[in-house]
Amino acid sequence: MKEIKIAVLVSGGGTNLQALINAQGKVLKSGRIGLVLSDNPSAYALTRAKEAGIPCEAVNRKDYSSKEEFEGALIGRLTNCGAELIILAGFMRVLSEKFVKAFEGRIINVHPSLIPSFCGNGFYGLKVHEAALSYGVKITGATVHYVNEVTDGGKIILQKAVPVRESDTPETLQKRVMEKAEWIILPRAAELVCRKLLKTREVLK
């Protein structure tokens, strides 16, 4: 197979998932999405996956008594489908060291700021943009990075800057960062990592 099998983890609206779906066969040539998993059963991202004909499933944290059991369920599904790359696209849970080690070098995440600004525990979704506005930064952006055991601490793959406007609210800033940065760099970074993983696969043959 010439494509890397991608699994996407989501929690909400799934606009970044949509950007990946739209990029398949275009910017994203070396990978194909084979599974979408959501920790939130009512995530609109699941509808996007269904509409694109991609197998998807909700793995609800509430159905498990511990984080370890929940992650075990995720790992089971990811392993069964043969996922080679895991993309966190608006996945709002911090993964344990055990999970990260199980897929070392094979998990990437999109974050809505220029890391190392406005990142780490507690910085997710709109909160990131609220913090950027209250600090008064004039430039923000998005980052795609490898996931390691430190929240938002893995090596950076791609970044893109976006200007902040005087009139911005967290919502208008979020929209601009998504449109001008996240939806562009996430498919590009996915392609870069898939190409790299395909090379490793060839070496192992």
Among 35, 56, 86, 89, binds ligand GAR (CB under 6 A): 89
Choose between 5 and 111: whose C-beta lies nearer to ligand GAR. 111
Buried b (16+ CB within 10 A) or exposed e, 97-125: eebbebbebbbbbbbbbbbebbbeeebbe
**Selected binder of ligand GAR within 124, 187, 190, 194 (CB under 6 A):** 124
Does the protein bind ligand GAR through residue 170 (CB under 6 A)? Answer: no
- Helix H or strand E encompassing 107: strand 107-111
User: Can you tell me whether residue 177 is helix, strand or coil?
Assistant: helix
Q: Rule CB under 6 A: say whether 141 interacts with ligand GAR.
A: no
DSSP code, position 138: S
In the set 111, 129, 145, 176, the catalytic residue is 111
**Residue 14 contacts ligand GAR per CB under 6 A:** yes
Does 145 participate in catalysis according to the annotation?
no
Q: Which residue is nearest to ligand GAR (CB)?
A: 90
Q: Which of 55, 105, 120, 125 binds ligand GAR (CB under 6 A)?
A: 125
The structure tokens 């190392």 sit at 116
What is the sign of the dihedral through the CA atoms of 105, 8, 128 and 92?
Answer: negative
Nearer to ligand GAR, 12 or 34 (CB): 12
34-45: burial string, b at 16+ Cβ within 10 Å, e else: bbbbbbbeebbb
- Determine the size of the site formed for ligand GAR (CB under 6 A): 16
Residues of the shown chain interacting with ligand GAR in the complex, contacts defined by CB under 6 A: 12-16, 45, 89-90, 110-112, 124-125, 128, 178, 182
